């Protein structure tokens, strides 16, 4: 414990010394004096080595109107699939995916047989398999609000929202709603959470009002996931059911995603839109030369 404390204090002192030195000599430092490698090393040290973070930068692939998808592999063994949905161009809905006998289903089965573009697992369910917490589907309240320290995701005429259970105000204008928890990001700041590790699914809203759906393929602490959601641009984010329930499936001509869960689930969040054709592969053919203009042959 003493060693960890000393290392942290030493790092802070070193960072302050470097910053002070750079500020005092910023008019003297040149590539000839310090060298490009040293400058790059200094920047990397300040941004990452002493408490900074590397931003998450997904390579987004257009999937459908208003829908993009990506796969991300981070250092430390964290990998996940995610989607970004613009509600002005695509639709998102909470669905009860149990069959006629009330049995749970995998979200991949839903995507294959009922053809939404994508689906991710919803919130928690009880030991008897019944969903827990508020559920609103297409404007119809299926279950009432549960008074617990969770969050509520809902969609109304003003777009998507995530609030704490105590802040939720019921209204007839709500079209979709789901209760889960805990919240991961609140007003752009990651929530300080207990160091519990599991496979996880999450839902977030970025500063443009777009929805982000994410499922990890490996275990991750909730607080690390909160930082990831913040780094992805979320101003609000909510933890969904995790562990064996965490699953995401997507099928399109451009890209397929399938992070399967260890157990089927009763509730899913589904995405529907108009699929885009796959991007054409780059051609290696040399373009034909255009004929020269002129008077032609005589």
Q: What is the pTM of this model?
A: 0.77
Q: What is the pLDDT of residue 64?
A: 94
Return d(Cα 266, Cα 227) in angstroms, integer: 28
Instruction: Give the pLDDT confidence of 123-169 residue by residue, as tens digits.
Output: 999 999 999 999 999 999 999 999 999 999 999 999 999 999 999 99
pLDDT of residue 55: 65
Among 6-10, 243-247, 280-284, name the most confident range.
243-247
Instruction: Tell me the average pLDDT across 169-185.
Output: 97
Alpha carbon distances (Å) from 143 to 133, 164, 172, 177 = 7, 17, 14, 10
Rounded Cα distance between 291 and 160, Å, is 57
Report whether 122 contacts 265 (CB < 8 A). Answer: yes
pLDDT reported for residue 72: 93
Q: Is the pLDDT of residue 196 over 70?
A: yes
**Residue 138, Ramachandran bin (φ over 0: left; ψ between -120 and 50: alpha; else beta):** left
Residue 106 or 57, more confident: 106
Which of the four pLDDT bands, split at 50, 70 and 90, describes residue 56?
Answer: confident
Which residues have CB under 8 Å from 175's CB, separation 6+?
A: 136, 138, 139, 155, 156
Better-predicted residue by pLDDT, 237 or 52 = 237
pLDDT of residue 278: 76
Three-state SS for 291? coil
- Retrieve residue 194's tokens: 């207990």
Domain regions of the chain by residue span: 7-49, 61-272
Average pLDDT of the chain, as a whole number: 83
Structure confidence at residue 77 (pLDDT)? 81
Q: Which residue has the higher pLDDT, 4 or 105?
A: 105
Q: Note the pLDDT of residue 13.
A: 54
pLDDT in tens, 20-40: 554 444 444 333 333 444 444
Residue 263 has pLDDT above 80, yes or no: yes
> Which residue did the predictor score with more confidence, 293 or 6?
293
Task: Specify the long-range contacts of residues 254-258, CB closer than 8 Å, at least 24 apart.
Answer: 254/61, 254/62, 254/63, 254/278, 254/279, 255/61, 255/63, 255/69, 257/69, 257/71, 257/81, 257/83, 257/118, 258/108
Q: Is the pLDDT of residue 191 over 90?
A: yes
Residue 246 has pLDDT above 60, yes or no: yes
Tokens of 173: 């204008």
How large is the average pLDDT for residues 13-23? 50
250 has a pLDDT exceeding 80: yes
Distances (CA, A) of 198 to 8, 61, 102, 221, 239: 28, 27, 27, 7, 12
With a cut of 50, say whether residue 208 has pLDDT above it: yes
Task: State residue 44's pLDDT score.
Answer: 40
């Amino acid at each position: 414990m003493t060693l960890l404390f000393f290392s942290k204090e030493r790092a802070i002192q070193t960072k302050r010394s470097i910053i002070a030195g750079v500020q005092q000599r910023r008019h003297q430092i040149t590539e000839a004096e310090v060298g490009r490698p040293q400058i790059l090393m200094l920047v990397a040290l300040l941004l990452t080595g002493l408490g900074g973070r590397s931003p998450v930068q997904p390579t987004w692939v257009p999937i459908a109107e208003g829908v993009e998808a990506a796969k991300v592999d981070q250092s430390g063994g964290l990998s996940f699939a995610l989607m970004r949905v613009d509600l002005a161009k695509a639709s998102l809905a909470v669905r009860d995916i149990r069959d006629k006998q009330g049995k749970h289903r995998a979200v991949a089965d839903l995507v294959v047989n009922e053809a939404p573009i994508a689906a991710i697992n919803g919130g928690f369910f009880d030991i008897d398999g019944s969903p827990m917490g508020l559920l609103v589907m297409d404007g119809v309240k299926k279950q009432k609000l549960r008074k617990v320290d969770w969050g509520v995701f809902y969609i109304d005429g003003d777009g998507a929202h995530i609030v704490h259970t105590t802040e939720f105000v019921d209204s007839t204008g709500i079209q979709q709603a789901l209760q889960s928890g805990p919240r991961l990001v609140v007003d752009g700041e990651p929530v300080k959470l207990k160091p519990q590790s599991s496979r996880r699914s999450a839902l977030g809203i970025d500063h443009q009002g777009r929805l982000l759906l994410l499922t990890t393929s490996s275990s991750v602490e909730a607080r690390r996931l909160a930082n990831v959601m913040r780094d992805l641009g979320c101003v609000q984010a909510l933890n969904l059911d995790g562990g064996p329930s965490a699953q995401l499936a997507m099928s399109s001509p451009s890209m397929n995603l399938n992070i399967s869960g260890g157990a089927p689930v009763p509730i899913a969040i589904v995405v529907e839109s108009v699929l885009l054709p796959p991007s054409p592969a780059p051609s290696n053919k040399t373009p034909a030369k255009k004929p020269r203009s002129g008077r032609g042959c005589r």
